[in-house]
Amino acid sequence: MDYVKLINCMRCGMCLSHCPTYKETFLETASPRGRVALMRKLSEGELEASERLLEYLSLCLDCQACASACPCGVNAGEMVAEFKCEQKDGKELSFMEELILRKLLPHPDRLEAAIKPMRVYQQTGLQKVVRKLGMLKMFPKPLERMEGLLPELPGQPLRQAIHEVTPAAGAERGTVGFFLGCVMSLVFSEASRATVRLLSELGYRVVTPKDQKCCGAPNVLAADRQGLLDAARFNVDLFSRHDVDFIVTDCGGCGSELKKYGHHLEGDDGAAAFSGKVRDISQLLALHVDDLKGKLQPLPLKVTYHDPCHIAHCQGIRMEPRQLLKMVPDLDFRELAEADACCGSAGTYNIEKPEMSDRVLRRKVENIKATGAEVLVTSNPGCLLQLKKALSEEVSPIRVMHLTEVLARSLAGER
C-alpha cells in the first residue's frame, strides 16, 4: 500500500454524502475516510489485520463515488482493493477461487459449457416449477439469491454466433476491435449484438477476436493479482495482432479494467497503447452524433438513465449516454435523482453482503420509480442483473435495457 495515498486524505468529509454504505449506517468505519484511517493505522503499526478490521473494509462496494467527490483525488475503494491484494499475496487460492478464477473464467469454452445447465433449466420449464413451489428455500441463501438474479438466457452465447469480422455498412471509416465481455456474451447477447450493428452502421469494420479472455475484473474482486496480470497480458497480445483504431466495449466493468492494463503492466508500451485505444461504446457513438441523428427514428418511451459506477466514477463518462438518448426522436428523457449512486450489485457483493446490498438497492429503486419512467437504461451487466430483478417485482414493472438496445431499436424503427 502506498503510504502517500493514505496520508493524502484530509478527513474533510466531502466523501460522506456520496458513500452508499455510510448513507445507510452513518458509521465512520463504513465511510471512505474511515476505511482510509483504518488502513493508515494498520500501515503505521497501531492496528493488526484482525477479522473485525477486514470485515469493516469488506463492506466497501468499491463504487469509487468517494474518488469523484474527493478534492484530493483519494480513491478509498481502489485502495481497499489494493490492500486486499497485498494481504493475499503469497497465499494460495481457495478451492472455489482456483476453480472459478483459474480453471473457468480464462477459458471461454469452459465458461460457455458451464452455463448450459442453466439454459436447460429454463428451457425445460423447470425454473418455473422450482420458483412456484418455493423449492429454492431449501438451498443455501447465496444459491437462492444467485438463481433469483438469473434472467432469461439467450439461445446461445454471442461469442459462438458472431462473425470474427463484421464489415462496415457502406463506406468504411475505420476498424475497431470489439471486446466482448463474458456476461455480455452469455447473458446479454442482444445488447452486444446491437453494439456491433451500431458500429457497422456508422462505417466501422468490427473485429471480434474469438480467443479473448475475461478482462480480469473478477480477479480484482477476489484479490487475485496474478490472475489479473495473466488476463491483461493475454488480451494485450491478442489485440496487438489486429490493426484497430479503437478497442470498444459495451460493458462498464470491462472498460474500467481494460483502461488500467497500462498501469497493471507498468512499463509495457504495448499495454499502454492498448489502454489508450479503449473506449466505452457511448464514447465512440458520441463522436458521430451528426451521422446518428439522420438514422434514428421515433421511439415514444419515457426513459431514465442509471450511471454504472464503473462508467461514471471509474471512467468519468456521464454526458455521452444522456446525449445519445436525448437524440432519439419522441423519447422522453427523465433525469434520475442520485443517478450515479451504486445499485448495490458491485460484482459479487449482492451475494456476499445481501443485507447491505438490498438497502442500497431500495434507495435506487425508489428514485427510479419517482421518475415515472417506463424504461431504465444502463450499461453494465451487474447493474442490469440487479435492477432487472428488482424492477420486475414492482407493482408497475419497469423495463431495463442496455443503452445500445434502445439506440438499435430506434435505428431499426422498432416501437
Which residues are registered as beta bridge partners of 311? Answer: none
- CA 146 to chain centroid: 17
C-alpha cell at 209: 477476436
Helix (H/G/I), strand (E/B), else coil: 310: helix
> In sequence order, which residues have a C-beta less than 8 Å from that of residue 32 and are 6 or more positions away?
15, 16, 19, 22, 60, 66, 70, 74, 76, 77
Cβ(75)–Cβ(64) below 8 Å: yes
Q: Which residues are CB-contacts of 30 (< 8 A; sequence separation ≥ 6)? A: 19, 21, 22, 24, 56, 59
**Residues 12-52: pLDDT tens digits?**
999 999 999 999 999 999 999 999 999 999 889 898 888 88
Question: What does the alpha-carbon distance between residue 12 and residue 109 come to, in Å, rounded to a whole number?
Answer: 49
Phi then psi for 275, rounded to 5 degrees? -60, -35
Residues of the chain with pLDDT under 70: 1, 90, 415
Q: What is the pLDDT of residues 62-102, one digit of tens each?
A: 999 999 999 998 999 989 988 888 877 767 888 888 888 89
Q: How far apart are CA 277 and CA 273, in angstroms?
A: 6
> What amino acid occupies position 269?
D
Residue pair 203/169 in contact by the 8 Å Cβ criterion: yes
Which of 155, 26, 4 has the alpha carbon at shortest distance from 72? Answer: 4
In our burial notation (b when 16+ CB lie closer than 10 A, e otherwise), range 320-330 reads bbbebbebbee
Dihedral angle sign, alpha carbons of residues 133, 134, 137, 141 = positive
User: CA-CA distances (angstroms) from residue 320 to 30, 158, 219, 230, 317?
Assistant: 32, 26, 29, 32, 7
How far, in Å, CA of 218 to CA of 104, rounded?
12
Q: What single letter denotes the amino acid at residue 199?
A: L
Closest among 45, 75, 61 to 253, alpha carbons compared? 61
Q: Identify the pLDDT of residue 377.
A: 98
Q: Count of alpha carbons within 13 Å of 322, Cβ hemisphere only? A: 16
Prediction pTM value = 0.93
Range 314-318, long-range pairs (CB < 8 A, 24+ positions): 314/64, 314/252, 314/256, 315/252, 315/255, 315/256, 315/259, 315/280, 317/280, 317/282, 317/283
Strand ranges across the sheet with 302-305: 332-333, 302-305, 375-378, 399-402
Domains and CATH numbers, the chain: 3-88 (1.10.1060.10), 95-149 (no CATH), 158-280 (3.40.50), 286-412 (3.40.50)
Q: What is the DSSP string of 340-400?
A: TS--S-TTTHHHHSHHHHHHHHHHHHHHHHHHT-SEEEE--HHHHHHHHHHHHTSSS--EE
- Quote the pLDDT of residue 1: 65
